[in-house]
Amino acid sequence: MRFMLAAAALCIVAVPTAAHAYCRTTTQQLPPDYRPTRGCFTKGLFLFWRNACVSYSVNEAGSRSIPYEEAKRVIDDSFATWMGATCADGDSPGIAVSNIGPSKCGEVRYNGDSANQNVIVFRDDGWPYSDPNSTLGLTTVTFNADTGEIYDADMEINSSARNLTTSDQVPANGFDLASVVTHEVGHFFGLAHATDARATMFASYKPGTTALRTLSPDDIAGICAIYPTSSLRVVSAEVSANQTIVADACDPSPRRGFISECAAPKTEEKCAATPRPTASWAASGSVALAIAGILVARRRRTRTG
Ligand SMILES: [Zn+2]
pLDDT, tens digit, for every residue of 121-156?
Answer: 999 999 888 777 778 888 989 899 889 999 999 999
Q: For residue 114, what are the contacts with CB-CB under 8 A and spacing of at least 6?
A: 256, 257, 259, 263, 264
Q: Give residue 137 CA to ligand 1 midpoint distance, Å.
A: 8
Question: With contact defined as beta carbons under 8 Å apart, do 194 and 56 qualify?
Answer: no
Q: Cβ-count burial of 132 within 10 angstroms (0-12 exposed, 13-18 middle, 19+ buried)? A: middle
Strands 232-234 and 244-246: antiparallel
Identify the structural domains of the chain with CATH numbers, from first to last. 32-304 (3.40.390.10)
How many whole angstroms separate alpha carbon 155 and alpha carbon 261? Answer: 16
pLDDT of residue 19: 64
Side-chain-side CA neighbours of residue 273 (13 Å): 3
**Bridge partners, residue 149, by sequence:** 48
Ligand 1: distance of its center to the CA of 6 in Å?
35
Query: Phi, psi at residue 176, to the nearest 5°?
Result: -80, 110
For residue 274, how far is its CA from the centre of ligand 1 (angstroms)? 30
Phi/psi for 171 (5° steps) reads -60, 155
CA 5 / ligand 1 centre spacing (Å): 36
Q: Which of 84-98, 194-208, 209-223 has the lowest mean pLDDT?
A: 194-208
CA–centroid distance, residue 184 to ligand 1 (Å): 6
Q: In this structure, are strands 96-99 and 244-246 parallel, antiparallel, or unpaired?
A: unpaired
Q: How far is the CA of 287 from the centre of ligand 1 (A)?
A: 10
Mean of pLDDT values over 171-187: 94
CA of residue 205 to ligand 1 center, whole Å = 10
Expressed in angstroms and rounded, the spacing between residue 135 Cα and the centre of ligand 1 is 9
What is the CA(154)–ligand 1 centre distance, in A?
13
Ligand 1 center to 40 CA (angstroms): 14
pLDDT tens digits, residue range 57-111?
999 999 999 999 999 999 999 999 999 999 999 999 999 999 999 999 999 988 8
Confidence grade of residue 20 (pLDDT, cut at 50, 70, 90): confident
In the chain, count H helices and then E strands: 5, 13
The structure's pTM equals: 0.83
CA–centroid distance, 3 to ligand 1, in Å, is 40
List strand residue ranges (DSSP E) for the chain, in order.
Answer: 23-24, 53-58, 96-99, 119-123, 137-143, 150-158, 164-165, 175-176, 191-192, 232-234, 244-246, 278-285, 303-304
Strands, E assignment, 59-136: 96-99, 119-123
Q: How far is the CA of 33 from the centre of ligand 1 (A)?
A: 16
Centre of ligand 1 from the C-alpha of residue 267, in Å: 28
Q: Is the pLDDT of residue 283 over 90?
A: no
